[in-house]
Amino acid sequence: MHSSPPDQNFLSHPKGLASWLFTLDHKRIGIMYLILICLAFGLGGFFALSIRLELMRSGEQFMDQDTYNKFFTLHGAVMVFLFIIPSIPATLGNFCLPLMLGAKDVAFPRLNLASWYVYVIGAAFTLFSVVTGAVDTGWTFYSPYSTQSSTSVISMTFGVFILGFSSIFTGLNFVVTIHKMRAPGMTWYQMPLFVWGTYATSVIQVLATPVLGITLLLLILEKTLGIGIFNPEMGGDPVLFQHFFWFYSHPAVYIMILPGMAIISELIAVHSHKKIFGYKLIAYSSVAIALLGFLVWGHHMFVSGQSEFSSMVFSFITFFIGIPTGIKIFNWMTTLYKGQICLTTPMLYALAFLILFTIGGLTGIFLGALGLDIHLHDTYFVVAHFHYVMMGGTVIAFLGGIHHWWPKIFGKMYSEFWGRIAFVFIFLGFNMTFFNQFMLGSQGMPRRYHDYSGLYKTDLFERYHGFSSYGAMVLGVGFLIIATYLIASLFNGKAASNNPWGGLTFEWATSSPPPTENFREEPIFKHGPYDYDKVLPENI
């Protein structure tokens, strides 16, 4: 095996833009994804802030209702399809997975690069619709809104169709990598839990995305040729679109959250230096969530006119998902018990995840209850719920993961001081923005309204909305601080040691940043990923 010289790593060698654009190295592809995904998050955040500013007071502020409809559609579509679905798997997953398995790369490096380019093309189509008049249907593209809307639905749905391929490529690649590329001696139950979570995610990506693909194709055919499948005037059924859409999009919720949970398992074990409690249960619960996730799509459709019997069944299975989720939460908390907890920035995010995701998960149970959902459906309660899951869960975990692996990826330490300051902004800002939206929703404020003057509780709504908008600004400042000190650390950060947190998984055994071929010597599996009771990690 030819090793690169000790001073060379995957970042420094080879040089030049072309060496990045044509790279087959999973670590570089992960960074290329990271750049685009941060841009997408910035764009989605811009739309979010605009929406919050418009809603700060009752009455029209600075955009008319059509613009408002377009802005919330773009916020949703950009955040869901361009940011959160690829976020953790394509960036940290790409970077960490082969390292954690002790492999030199993912199974199909070319497919990996292709997925990045397909993402770029899909994003181009999705964003092209912004230039040509945007889309006003909401990110769910429900028919008949979408079939009758004169906005550029075709460009955006085609973009999302293409993005699906990117997602499938990543998922397929990871499944094969996990099955076939583990280091000699590493069994399934010796894999880090991050790998288990990524595995469950990838399975959903492979199984659910094609169904969204065909649904969007039929929607495009409906709009172009008028095939009538979703058009009741022609004997079609618009509710079928909802069924097919949610058959993908509910499992997609787990494409978003399972990688977050995967990160949390690592953060909690490593930053409390304790063997993870209930390894197998955490691993199995990821798979259980992935599989049960395919059976609950109808809980988005309690008011769509589906039969009461199917609503009951969907509601019942939805409650069931609380069980594996609860198992995870309890196992993480038990891991913390009597651990040597270091309140590093990654650990702060992990603890925040436990709080915020629990709120998000429990309010999901409220919404899964048939009677209550009739009251809360399409109100801000739903908005608050899924932001607690998606942002309080996935984005918080993503931030924790970025800080955790930053030293490994770039070989530089970020500023722990600024990291904690920014965390306070994020945690407070997030709760300020979204907690009162639970109250807003339970008081009856409908979602997606451009203007709430004239509603019977306008004064109350205005107070909640106003507070929410201030919270969004605090949140925005938090993200700006993070971006500033992370970028600054690339230039003047302290050099990171190989194992700054005392992790036991393979990625901490190689240099920071790793050499192009990942390990200078083939790693051999000697101890479990969380054997803190047996092994003392070096360099703590």
Q: Residue 56 carries which side chain, given as an amino acid letter? A: M
Task: Report the residue from 176, 365, 369, 460 that binds other proteins according to the rule CB under 8 A.
Answer: 176
* Cβ-contact 66, 136 below 8 angstroms: yes
Reduced to 3 states (helix: H, G, I; strand: E, B; else coil), residue 446 is strand
Among residues 277, 369, 372, the alpha carbon closest in space to that of 330 is found at 277
Nearer to Cu ion, 183 or 295 (CB): 295
| Matching residue, tokens 């059976």 | 295
User: Does residue 93 bind other proteins (CB under 8 A)?
Assistant: no
User: Does residue 191 bind other proteins (CB under 8 A)?
Assistant: no
Interaction partner, residue 479 (other proteins, Cu ion, none; CB < 5-8 Å by kind): none
334 by Cβ neighbours in 10 Å (0-12 / 13-18 / 19+) ranks as middle
Window of 151-159, 250-258, 389-397, 408-416 that interacts with Cu ion by CB under 5 A:
250-258
Interaction partner, residue 175 (Cu ion, other proteins, none; CB < 5-8 Å by kind): other proteins
Interaction partner, residue 341 (other proteins, Cu ion, none; CB < 5-8 Å by kind): none
User: Does residue 56 bind other proteins (CB under 8 A)?
Assistant: no
Nearer to other proteins, 109 or 322 (CB): 109
Task: Report the residue from 64, 416, 522, 538 that binds other proteins according to the rule CB under 8 A.
Answer: 522
Rounded Cα distance between 396 and 489, Å, is: 20
Task: Report the residue from 30, 86, 159, 236 that binds other proteins according to the rule CB under 8 A.
Answer: 236
* Cβ-contact 415, 492 below 8 angstroms: no
Rounded Cα distance between 466 and 53, Å, is: 9
Q: Residue 76 carries which side chain, given as an amino acid letter? A: G
User: Does residue 250 bind Cu ion (CB under 5 A)?
Assistant: yes
H and E: helices and strands count for the chain: 18, 0
In whole angstroms, how close is the CB of 291 to other proteins at the nearest point?
A: 15
Window of 15-23, 223-231, 262-270, 419-427 that interacts with other proteins by CB under 8 A:
223-231
Interaction partner, residue 250 (Cu ion, other proteins, none; CB < 5-8 Å by kind): Cu ion
What would the 3-class secondary structure string for 153-189 be?
HHHHHHHHHHHHHHHHHHHHHHHHHHHHCCCCCCCHH
User: Does residue 377 bind Cu ion (CB under 5 A)?
Assistant: no
User: Does residue 179 bind other proteins (CB under 8 A)?
Assistant: yes
Phi-psi region of 126 (alpha: psi -120 to 50; beta: other; left: phi over 0): alpha
In whole angstroms, how close is the CB of 113 to other proteins at the nearest point?
A: 13
3-state helix, strand, coil split of the chain in percent (to 5) is 70, 0, 30
In whole angstroms, how close is the CB of 247 to other proteins at the nearest point?
A: 8
In whole angstroms, how close is the CB of 31 to other proteins at the nearest point?
A: 18
Rg (CA), the chain: 23
User: Does residue 218 bind other proteins (CB under 8 A)?
Assistant: yes
Binding residues for other proteins (CB under 8 A): 1, 103-105, 107-109, 111, 168, 172-173, 175-176, 179-181, 184, 206-207, 209-211, 213-215, 217-218, 221-222, 225-229, 234-237, 240, 244, 522
Binding residues for Cu ion (CB under 5 A): 250
